[in-house]
Structure 1
Amino acid sequence: MTLHGNEQDNCGNQAVKSRKPRLAALIGPTAVGKTAYSLEIAKRWNAEIISGDSMQVYKGMDVGTAKLPLEEREGIPHHLIDICEPEHPFSAAEFQERCRELIAEITARGRLPFIVGGTGLYVESVCYEYEFAETGSDEAFRAEQQRFAETHGAEALHARLKLVDPASAERLHPNDLRRVIRALEVAHLTGVTMSEQLAGQTKTSPYDLCLVGLTMDRQKLYDRVDRRVDLMLEEGLADEVRRLLERGVPENAVSMRGLGYKEIVPYIRGERTLEEAVRLLKRDTRHFAKRQLSWFRHMRGITWVDVTDERNFSGNVQAIHDILAGKFENQLEYICNQSFFDGGNGQ
């Protein structure tokens, strides 16, 4: 249902027309518990979830991306999951374009668009209407950087980026060769670093935006990371990586450079033991969580909820709800969905 002007809603309340479409986002580091909280909030707020994860877009990459199975989504629509083949180099600009379309469609259905994920650039590019510059490409330059990495190692190329663009080097893992090379290429082509371009964004939102961040004690988060990795191995992560290689997905594909894949490939190839692969995966994932938190700390407008006490799940859900209510309390869906507190199922 779409409301205009001062029309009444189905609850008999006067509806106030918002000047901007509403958008909620739940962000936080990997393994902090975003999925469980997002389901409860989506039910209360008549929301459709948009995955803000750069890896869940890929088909056939389920275990390593901690993708929520369809049967566990509780009937809540989830978008931008399983939308492209792992050979496709999905980008932040492509995410932004698709997300904008989805937000308009979900809003037109009278529901709340709800981004949930931990890929900072992806989420921020939508929330604050980033403009991705058309900087072109220099294939010879890219090839030169690739050869340098193959000869001297990914760490050496990352050190080169650190000299040119320290801020980008801070947020990019040395093994993320494609993005490291792209950051070097942007500086090479434009004379302006990628981090400077990002800092120069106006960061005004085209949406009536509510950003909620989840955080917890650092050591507890790292323990959850380790448990998640162990669970992924139990659920068949190594077999998933093996299937992808057998079907011909290149090792240097963007998808295969993601956490859980780049560490396991050498094990599949017989180049390292499983124990070493798991040790590296846990280490890299902890480092990734740290970089995520660093990115989010620089984002504007986030209200943080500490979810360290896992026994207080319902209280944490209520805290997230209250933040959204404080932002959207005059809006139709909040008024109508009070029934959720009386046992409504939201479907």
Structure 2
Amino acid sequence: MNNNKPPLIVLVGPTAVGKTAASLAIARQFGCEIISGDSMQVYRGMDIGTAKLPLAEREGIPHHLIDIKDPSEPFSAADFQTACEQAIRDIQRRGNIPFIVGGTGLYVESVCYGFKFQPTGGDPAFREAMQALADSEGAEALHGRLAAVDPFTAAKLHPNDVRRVIRALEIRETTGAPASEQLGEARGDRKESPYNLVLLGFHMERARLYARIEERVDAMLAAGLLDEVRGLLAAGLPSSAVSMQALGYKEMAAYLECRLSYEDAVSLLKRDTRRFAKRQLSWFRHMQDLIWIDADEDSKNSKLLQSIYAIIAGKLKISLQ
């Protein structure tokens, strides 16, 4: 490893696995500033459903890329990469270590390995045609079209993730190259990080993770998730907005618009969150430098934290006090 590269610590893992509590301890130990690697925590007013850590609970540790956009504004992986790289430079200038914590795989990986996103203005007519195809022939047919021209990207996307499937097709249509080629994935090349990278991933036994997910959803509902979604809709944010497709918001909006019963909305939210966690783990498993940490123990457990500290110190050549 080239230790002349600037250090970057990253902690990924599925939702509800315990990243937040551990991240505060790690940040204190190594003098880090935390950068949210979550695609939805960028939105103001979307707090409960995105599991934002309240300001009072951040223990004075700076957190970045939280509450930087209105829910009506678009925010892409390329936007995240640009904003995150700027935050990293600012943190480095202050003499601190940047620490990305989150579960949005593409966003985090794009920074870890400097993915090159080809700029494109997009093709609205093409998007509309692909949406019409999905509506008439089904999401599976649309996904099959992507698999034919970009099997690598198709393998990472669920057929029901119509928006991202259309986006990948649009990239292929407008640039002539598959999205996976832009990200250096198609040839299976080993990606080189511009950082002295410490990439950690939390995992735990599936039944325990699913139980934690159920508990988290119940806690969000008790904390006022429904009222949060009601407020966003009342402020004029349409339920079709990209931000409102986030877990919790989509299901509660369906209830408020009388498209689902409350019981069905909650059941769907729990099911979709379990499926989301499974997709997150599938993405993380292909990340080449990931060091897996068994988080079945409480993430505040001293023994677990000491083992994490030792990994980071070893990678960054830092002496533990």
- Identify the match of residue 235 of structure 1 among 194, 206, 223: 223
Structure 2: distance between partners of 1:18 and 1:162: 40
| Letter matched to residue 229 of structure 1 | V
Partner of 1:342: none
Partner of 1:120: 105
Partner of 2:153: 168
Map 1:89-108 → 2, pairs under 5 A: 89-108=74-93
Structure 1: distance between partners of 2:138 and 2:227: 27
Aligned: 1:275 with 2:260: no
- Identify the match of residue 325 of structure 1 among 308, 313, 316: 313
Q: Which runs of 5+ in 1 are unaligned?
A: 1-16, 339-347
Structure 2: distance between partners of 1:102 and 1:312: 27
CA contact (8 A) 2:12 2:200 kept: yes
Partner secondary structure for residue 268 of structure 2: helix
Partner of 2:208: 220
1:279 CA drift (Å): 1.2
1:308-344 CA-to-partner distances (Å, cap 9, x unmatched) read 12287221111111110111124xxx56xx2xxxxxx
Structure 2: distance between partners of 1:227 and 1:145: 38
CA contact (8 A) 2:146 2:169 kept: yes
Structure 2: distance between partners of 1:109 and 1:64: 32
Partner of 1:292: 280
Choose 158-167 or 219-228, whichever is displaced more.
158-167
Choose 162-171 or 217-226, whichever is displaced more.
162-171
Change (3 A) 1:224 1:92: same
Q: Which runs of 5+ in 2 are unaligned?
A: none
Aligned: 1:36 with 2:21: yes
1:194 CA drift (Å): 2.1
| Letter matched to residue 57 of structure 1 | V
CA contact (8 A) 1:48 1:76 kept: yes
Change (3 A) 1:131 1:232: same
Structure 2: distance between partners of 1:116 and 1:164: 33
Aligned: 1:21 with 2:14: no
1:174 CA drift (Å): 4.7
CA contact (8 A) 1:170 1:291 kept: no
- Identify the match of residue 68 of structure 1 among 50, 53, 63: 53
Aligned: 1:86 with 2:71: yes
Structure 1: distance between partners of 2:114 and 2:124: 29
- Identify the match of residue 48 of structure 1 among 18, 33, 37: 33
1:119-141 CA-to-partner distances (Å, cap 9, x unmatched) read 11111110101110124422111
1:226 CA drift (Å): 1.2
Change (3 A) 1:167 1:237: farther
CA contact (8 A) 2:115 2:182 kept: no
How does the TM-score come out when normalised to structure 2?
A: 0.92
1:71 CA drift (Å): 0.4
Partner of 1:261: 249
- Identify the match of residue 182 of structure 1 among 153, 159, 167: 167
Choose 215-224 or 178-187, whichever is displaced more.
178-187
How does the TM-score come out when normalised to structure 1?
A: 0.85
1:189 CA drift (Å): 2.8
Change (3 A) 1:147 1:248: farther
1:159 CA drift (Å): 5.2
1:171 CA drift (Å): 3.2
Partner secondary structure for residue 183 of structure 1: helix
Partner secondary structure for residue 56 of structure 1: coil
Partner secondary structure for residue 251 of structure 2: coil
Change (3 A) 1:149 1:238: farther
RMSD value, Cα: 2.1
Choose 189-198 or 110-119, whichever is displaced more.
189-198
Partner secondary structure for residue 23 of structure 1: strand
User: How many pairs align?
Assistant: 317
CA contact (8 A) 2:41 2:52 kept: yes
1:164 CA drift (Å): 4.7
Aligned: 1:249 with 2:243: no
